[in-house]
Every structure is written in C-alpha cells, then in structure tokens.
Amino acid sequence: MVQIKKKPKSKSTFFPRLWRFIRNAIIVFFVGSISWVILARFIPIYITPLMLIRSVEAIIAGEMPQNHKSWVSIDEISPNMVQAVVASEDNLFLTHYGFSFEDIEKAMKHNQKGRRIRGGSTISQQTAKNVFLWPQRSYIRKGLEAYFTVLIELVWSKERIMEVYLNVIETGNGVYGVEAASQRFFNKSAAKLTKSQSALIAASLPNPRKFKIGNPSGYMLRRQAKIKSLMRKIQQVQFP
C-alpha cells in the first residue's frame, strides 16, 4: 500500500490567516457594538451584565436571585431625582462630552492622600459600564468603558443617558432603578419623590448594598444632607 504523506502546512500561511481572523473579529466587534448602542437608544433595557452577575452570585450562595426592576420614562421620574444625581455624581453632566477631566484630576489628588478611594467617572461613563460591561475594575474594562461612553454620547441624547442611568443603577440588594427603589422603600412612584428622598437614594449609589436606603446609617444621613445642600446650589436640570 502506498502511503501518501501529507505536506506540512506552510508557516507562510499562518500569519495571513491569523491576520484575517483578527481583522474579522475587529469588524464584528465594531459593527455589533455600534448596532447595540443604536438599538439601546430606543428600547427599554431590562437586563444588564450586573443583574446577571448578581443572580449567579445568589445561586452560588444557595439563595434565590432577586430582580426588582420597573422601567419608566424620564417623564415619570421626579426632577428632584435628576437633580440629586447630578449634584452628587456629576455636576457637569450637561456640559461635558462624556468625560470630566476636572473631576478625574480631583479624584487623583484625593486618592494620592491615601483617603477612601474616589472615582472620577461621569454619569455617562457609569451608564456605559452598567449597560454594556461588568463591574470589576481592570484596564481592559476601563478602555471599553471609554469606547462605549464615546458611542452613547454620540448616539444618545443627554436625556436618554439620564433616563437609562436612573433605570439601571443598583439601588439595593436585588433592586435596580429609581422606580423600584421608590416603590420598595417609600411606597410611592418615582414621579413623587421629594428632594429628601431623592438625596437619600443618591447617597446610597456608591455602594447601595452597603448603604441601605431602608435603614440609613449616620454616614448616609450626613451624605444625604450634603447632597441636599448641593442641590440648592445648582439650577434645576433642563434637557435641551
């Protein structure tokens, strides 16, 4: 029997194939991500990566996953709530293009003093992270966060960014969005939130599973008072 020896694959074909694979992967990523952002401009967002992560964590811990969430339009959210998050999280929200280099510089100076770590992320950056990415810090995630921030600033309006942000933020253990938080902790719709209640929700946002809206600590109450003071210093948020 005559055995036919297979010719070894030429090394000269490896790199062209690798390049084609990388090129196609990059094209798929950009086309997919841009399409995703455009679609998310118009539809309610009911599921985020963080919600899935929290559900998996609950299952691993032998608990039943919780997901209390109600999507509402920006018109059904009290202007007090919008003002509270702008005052506490991003007072330059209406004027920047996704990044506040002033806040980043302040955060870096604050962190260099060895105090509690403070971020310089804008509401746009937080929205990009919450909707499209995972919460753990890494250089890859920060790079993707910057990419998606640029995209939503180009494709979405400021009003849409705020609407999505207020609907997907974690506001408690298994609670997402200000409507669900308002119903759960104040027995009212988000449209009826007072300045004090809005400031309390905003006070929880750095770590809503630690800083509980339903049982605020002394630190949270002090933060609430500070946010209320900041709210008095800024004008009511008006979207163009």
pLDDT band at 73 (very low <50, low <70, confident <90, very high): very high
Cα separation of 163 and 16, whole Å?
Answer: 45
Residue 126 is assigned to a structural domain of this protein = yes
| Helices of type H across the chain | 14-40, 49-60, 79-89, 101-112, 123-132, 139-155, 158-168, 178-186, 195-204, 218-233
Residue 179 is assigned to a structural domain of this protein = yes
Number of domains making up the chain: 1
Residue 15 is assigned to a structural domain of this protein = no
Residue 135 is assigned to a structural domain of this protein = yes
Q: Which residues of 126-141 are buried (b: 16+ CB within 10 A; e: fewer)?
A: bbbbbbbbbeeeeeee
Q: What is the arithmetic mean of pLDDT over 167-191?
A: 96
Structure tokens at 132: 């499209």
Structure tokens at 77: 């959210």
Residue 25 is assigned to a structural domain of this protein = no
Q: What is the arithmetic mean of pLDDT over 197-225?
A: 95
pLDDT tens for 129-168 read: 999 998 888 999 999 999 999 999 999 999 999 999 999 9
For the ranges 7-21, 27-41, 181-195, the lowest mean pLDDT is seen at: 7-21
pLDDT band at 116 (very low <50, low <70, confident <90, very high): low
pLDDT at 111: 52
Residue 74 is assigned to a structural domain of this protein = yes
Note every long-range contact of 182-187, with CB atoms under 8 Å and residues 24 or more positions apart, other chains counting.
183/70, 184/68, 184/214, 185/213, 185/214
Residue 209 is assigned to a structural domain of this protein = yes
pLDDT at 240: 79
CATH code of 208's domain: 1.10.3810.10
Residue 1 is assigned to a structural domain of this protein = no
Domain range enclosing 145: 48-61+68-89+98-233
